[in-house]
Structure 1
């Protein structure tokens, strides 16, 4: 572990953690831009995650998201997710999690998530009246090409995934909450994000402009690297448990 990272984390009482696709990838969830497999290998995910794709063929889009939901349901939080949950429960620490991931791995690891910046795969809503829906994805042992989406109990419109599609605005409350948390933090930790998807990518820069130290945890260089005060070239499942364990050891030693 870079000693400077521990030096920044040790006194931090307000910590904002921003996580991206690299965090979920270690749990076996393919990143959004990974090559598709089987039935979906001829499709570009960027073409399926749009309002126009939904308007032209909601059955195809719903089937694709149902397949992805099955992948997420079969994945398990890794040691990095669990370490963040442990850090969040630490007395005297106010740790917030803002994630660009649409999965629920943070929640299943025990973390409270302040903001799902790109929406949530499992929070469904009507595409016509925008009301929340208690519908769910079907169990799909094998992917299918098309699947009729459930209908809204209020207006009868088709129910859609609660994710942010390309061309849609981020959920305003989530984004503003993440901005506030980043700018008010003693430390911003950016984990496994490419830093190229805006406006979420602006968060480290907004924090840095307020003088908040930014630490990047990523095994490879990203667009975040130039904005980071310290860079730790490691994966989330390796770095986060090591950091939290070091903080716990120091706390025990000081008693």
Structure 2
């Protein structure tokens, strides 16, 4: 069975009402990203950081998978599909995708500040004083700037087995995720879907300058497997 690997970014979930990571002036919901997405920011003002992710978590409760999420899930009827997402939402899973690698963590999970492998589901607000069994503060299970990306090895291994790579809603400017394209086999066809693409097409690369909901279906119609 042919293997389709999909790399998704913030543009994938934008049509579900979730705001992209940061706007043109580098702010995320009015905050400098280093205030709310770095270990230093958490150490300086943990209440601000926890409140920020509480708001994101509440927003995600009301969001729903869009047509692009559902189209990718539908591909599993005929192909092996692996999704590598930079998004911390669970919309791929809710749409029905069964193989999802979260490079940057998951909003509906928290982990211990003492033991990073002590991870648990969490859908309510997280506050100072919410602790793990050993009494250490819990934090969002999100990869912040300056932290390791523990799922990167699995993502690289997945890309090395791709017959087709779809890149959806990401500028491919954030590393290490942007480097994943260098691990696919030489003969792998690549489909780049973004309303404002920053690359040009080639014999191996098809650029579709559309939002995810229409671009994904157009890419699928072009598959030559």
TM-score range, shorter chain: 0.7 to 0.9
Following TM superposition, by how much is the alpha carbon of 1:136 offset from its aligned partner in structure 2, in angstroms?
3.8
Give the alignment partner of residue 233 of structure 1, picking from 189, 194, 209: 209
RMSD (Å) for aligned C-alpha atoms: 2.6
Which structure 2 residue ranges, 5 or more long, are not aligned?
none
Q: Distance in 2 between matches of 1:179 and 1:78?
A: 27
Q: Distance in 1 between matches of 2:202 and 2:136?
A: 45
Correspondence 1:218 to 2:194:
yes
TM-score (norm 2): 0.88
Following TM superposition, by how much is the alpha carbon of 1:225 offset from its aligned partner in structure 2, in angstroms?
6.5
Which structure 1 residue ranges, 5 or more long, are not aligned?
1-11, 140-146, 251-255
Following TM superposition, by how much is the alpha carbon of 1:205 offset from its aligned partner in structure 2, in angstroms?
2.4
Higher helix share: 1
Q: Which residue number in structure 2 is paired with residue 177 of structure 1?
A: 154
Higher strand share: 2
Task: Tell me which stretches of 4 or more aligned residues in structure 1 moved more than 4 Å.
Answer: 223-228
- For this pair of structures, how many residues does the alignment match? 220
CA contact (8 A) 1:192 1:218 kept: yes
Q: Which residue number in structure 2 is paired with residue 166 of structure 1?
A: 145
Alignment CA distance shift 1:134-1:84 (3 Å): closer
Q: Which residue number in structure 1 is paired with residue 45 of structure 2?
A: 57
Larger relative contact order, structure 1 or 2 (CA cutoff 8 Å, min sep 6):
1
Q: Distance in 2 between matches of 1:21 and 1:225?
A: 22
Following TM superposition, by how much is the alpha carbon of 1:227 offset from its aligned partner in structure 2, in angstroms?
11
Q: Distance in 1 between matches of 2:137 and 2:28?
A: 25
Q: Which residue number in structure 2 is paired with residue 66 of structure 1?
A: 54
> Larger Rg: 1 or 2?
1
Q: Which residue number in structure 2 is paired with residue 46 of structure 1?
A: 34
Q: Distance in 2 between matches of 1:226 and 1:203?
A: 18
- Residue 70 of structure 1 aligns to a residue whose secondary structure is helix
Q: Which residue number in structure 1 is paired with residue 171 of structure 2?
A: 194
